[in-house]
Structure 1
Amino acid sequence: MNFWGCDYGGPVGGAECCGYGSGRGFALIVVLFILLIIVGAAWFC
């Protein structure tokens, strides 16, 4: 078990460490957050 894999590996690291469902959920949250930043930057610029 690698703690860095959990923090940095994205869906792969999440799946190795915390189970497939947790890895997917974490990846989905990260993707939505990135999209929110992109949309916000485009809107305000």
Structure 2
Amino acid sequence: MANNSCGCGSNEYGYALILVLFILLVIIGAAWLA
């Protein structure tokens, strides 16, 4: 159970990291176009 919880936490962290990276990329792209 502990191992499963760790995997779930890692997956959630990875998803959040990708989401933040995507938002940052959009902001940089908008600033570059502007």
Identity %: 54
- Trace 1:1-45 onto structure 2 (pairs within 5 A): 19-45=8-34
TM-score (normalizing by structure 2): 0.77
Q: Which portions of structure 1, spanning 4 or more consecutive aligned residues, are displaced by more than 4 angstroms?
A: none
| Unpaired segments ≥5 residues, structure 1 | 1-17
Any stretches of 5+ residues in structure 2 without a counterpart? 1-6
TM-score, length basis structure 1 = 0.59
Q: Going by fraction, where is helix more abundant, 1 or 2? A: 2
Q: How many residues align?
A: 28
Larger C-alpha radius of gyration, 1 or 2? Answer: 2
